[in-house]
Chains A and B, each alone.
Chain A
Amino acid sequence: MTTVLVLTGIGFACAALIYFMHIVLPHKVQGLEKTEEIANTLPGMNCGACGYPGCFAYAQALTKNPDLISESPCAVMLQDAEGLERLGKILGVSIDAAGMSKRALIHCNGSSEVVYDYSGVRTCKAATQLLKGYKKCPYACLGFGDCLEVCPQGAIYMDDEKEIAVVDTEECTGCGLCVTECPQKLIELVPEGTKIAFLCNYKPLKNIPGREKCDFGCIHCRKCYKACEFEAVVWNKEKAIPEFDIEKCTLCHKCIDECPNGTLADFTRVKTAAQAL
């Protein structure tokens, strides 16, 4: 009997203590209101593309320094105009989404010849360590899909015929995780409105015997540069590759038709190509 009474007594005492604490202590952690508000606006998928371990950590950093949104923006937020406006209001800064939004572009056209049978671990990281990969072009996409694994949006597909990865530009948010993952360093973030895609990564340092570029790479013939009537193609003399002016380009496809190796492609149509896979 005594035992029952003592235990019940302890139970009531604890309940009273909990109730007392409930009244006295604040219900929310002080100083975190703003952070929480920001965190609720953020996508909450914890992809880590902003460089912080998860959305809440990013929100904490944003609370301290609102300008961070333009330095390392949340790629997923940039696709959502409404959410971005809300976030801008909370932070008290205006966000220029169009200027910051990027898309991943894989600078490879695929179909490079295979020089040796590779039979090791089926990841790009492992394959690059053995003599710069098993393809003839030492800068080619190896097609094991390391980028595919890290993409939080699932926006990268495999082109089995050409053995390269293809980005769906509509689903891609330009977070840049694939850029750091690719051991061949052939993914680049380009502005969202890019019209012409340059699909070659071969660096014309010096000829490497047996490791020349494939038949689909840039041969630096400057035909695209000469074909353009709108001066939208700028020749980068240092790298000997064409660069494209987004504003001047009218997407007339003349450069694409002129290119003898098919190194150029319509960037807006890469999406449809990826969706077909």
Chain B
Amino acid sequence: MNFKLNWRGTSYGVKLPEAKLTAVSPIERAPLPEKVIITLHQNIGAPCKPLVKRGDKVLTGQKIGDSEKFVSAPVHATISGEISGTTMLVHPATGQLVEALIISSDGTDEWVVPEAKDAIDTLSVEEILKRIREAGIVGLGGAAFPTQVKLSPPKDKRIDTVILNGCECEPYITSDHRVMLEYGREVLSGLNIIRKVLSPDNMYIAIEDNKQDAIEHVRKLLASMKLDRNCKIVTLKSKYPMGAEKTLIQNILAREVPIGGLPMDVGVVVHNVSTARAIHDAVSERKPFIERVVTVTGAVKEPKNLLVRLGTPLRDLIENCGGIDGEANEIILGGPMMGISQFDLGFPVIKGTNCILLKKSMQSKEGDCISCGRCLDACPMSLMPTMLVKYAKAGRYDACKEAYIADCFECGACAYACPANIPIVQYIKIAKSELIKRAAKK
């Protein structure tokens, strides 16, 4: 069944140029890198401790780092070879200093002996969660929250709805789109596993209306896999930030996640389509999470969707796409709206990387706020970005807190809408980090 929902009442969000250059290019497998850099802290939560030391031989898929904390995910060797050293790295997303292991390839790509496969129906929920944890799966939409934590809600919270997120509302990125088209069966099998763990009443697959081919494909697959009775495809208007967790829940279910709360609080769990595919690989195929689809796009000769091993340096991927084309002086890990610029092509692909965008940076002078209110219209969380910026500029971080700054998920719609080019998100990030610092002091 397919039904169309209206954008409920409000007009928040912004319409962005799509620029999905790679929507029709099939996923290509990138050649094996000569060396990979595996950071030991790739997700939200505790960092891993290394399980191997310099000089050790590792096989593809071997666990090389783990943590005992609940909110954590292990990391695996993504190629076979030798640990040639450890290094410190500035984490591409959080900016923290993290430890990283360097693996030099021996060129053979020899895998660890996979464990026996068995039918999913015979597995217990604990066994499934254990397999997901061991495979090191995190949310692949970008936030990189460990998946098994999302799948084990507290006992008092009943999950009645699961949403599979295939919106991909940021411009340029097409990795989820291609995954739905080419690994649709695996995605749905992953969804089936999620269903087994959480046993929800309803399941939705949310796709934006600019991906008609994916909608058709997934609908056919649903029918052929006999999942269409309890799973519905929701076509959403393509608008930014449609794919954000809280916006999605609001638009599909008309439920509002409480301030400072999680989707769990309203009985919903949202997973990305690529995460579902990784869950299928981990549980059914017993493969750890060592490769993902990354869109390399923008000012490269041939923009591509590449299936790459984690830890591959960005330089290799850009070379694979024919090198830099034209003027590009900015390389962004992630999409143009929420991605973070990098300055070194030696940085590795990490679990949360869905796109590598090269573009010419646009530097615009910050003007003064004229209180036009366009950011208020754009904000999907109905916050007041203009006030947040004024408070943050004046150092009144407590006032930011009272204005619900914690609810901002930094989508950047406000900054896009701002006619004065005020870097609103950056001001909000300053205020957030100052608030965290103050909370840590107390």
A residues lining the B interface (CB < 8 Å): 115-117, 119-121, 123, 125-126, 128-132, 138, 205-211
Contact = CB atoms under 8 A, between A and B. Distances in A.
Contact of B87 (A117, A129, A206): A206
Contact of A208 (B90, B363, B429): B90
Contacts of B86: 206
Q: Give 5 nearest A-B pairs by CB, closest first.
A: A116-B343, A208-B88, A206-B88, A119-B363, A131-B90
Given A130-B95, A131-B342, A138-B97, A121 B427 contact: yes
Nearest to B96: A132
Contacts of B230: none
A208 B87 contact: yes
B89 interface: yes
6 contacts: A121-B423, A121-B430, A130-B340, A131-B343, A132-B90, A208-B87
Given A125-B434, A126-B427, A130-B95, 19 more contacts: A115-B343, A120-B423, A121-B423, A121-B427, A123-B430, A126-B429, A128-B95, A129-B430, A130-B340, A130-B341, A131-B92, A132-B90, A132-B95, A132-B97, A207-B87, A208-B87, A208-B89, A208-B97, A209-B89
A255 B346 CA distance: 39
A125 B343 contact: no
B433 A129 contact: yes
Interface string B75-103: 00000000000111110100101010000
Contacts of B346: 209-210
A207 B89 CA distance: 9
Contacts of A138: 90, 97
Contacts, number: 63
Interface string B366-402: 1000000000000000000000000000000000000
Contacts of A210: 344, 346
A10 B342 CA distance: 77
Given A132-B90, A208-B87, A208-B88, A126 B430 contact: yes
B426 A209 contact: no
Interface residues of B, number: 26
A120 B329 CA distance: 15
A120 B422 CA distance: 9
B212 interface: no
A115 B340 CA distance: 16
B423 A129 contact: no
Interface string B345-374: 010000000000000010100100000000
A93 to B, nearest CB: 28
Nearest to B89: A208
Contacts of A117: 329, 361
A126 B426 contact: yes
A117 B95 CA distance: 16
B176 to A, nearest CB: 26
A84 B423 CA distance: 47
Contacts of B361: 117, 119
Contact of B97 (A116, A125, A205): A205
B171 to A, nearest CB: 20
Nearest to A121: B426
A115 B90 CA distance: 13
A272 B423 CA distance: 38
A77 to B, nearest CB: 25
B95 A129 contact: yes
Contacts of A207: 87-88
A224 B86 CA distance: 32
Given A120-B426, A209-B87, A131 B95 contact: yes
Contacts of A128: 95
A209 B343 CA distance: 12
A205 B96 CA distance: 14
Contacts of A115: 343-344
A138 B91 CA distance: 12
Interface in B389-440: 423, 426-427, 429-430, 433-434
A178 to B, nearest CB: 14
Contacts of A206: 86-88, 99
A18 to B, nearest CB: 40
Interface in B310-356: 329, 340-344, 346
Nearest to B364: A119
A129 B97 contact: no
Contacts of A125: 430, 433-434
A205 B342 CA distance: 23
Contacts of B97: 132, 138, 205, 208
A124 to B, nearest CB: 10
B396 to A, nearest CB: 14
Contacts of B95: 128-132
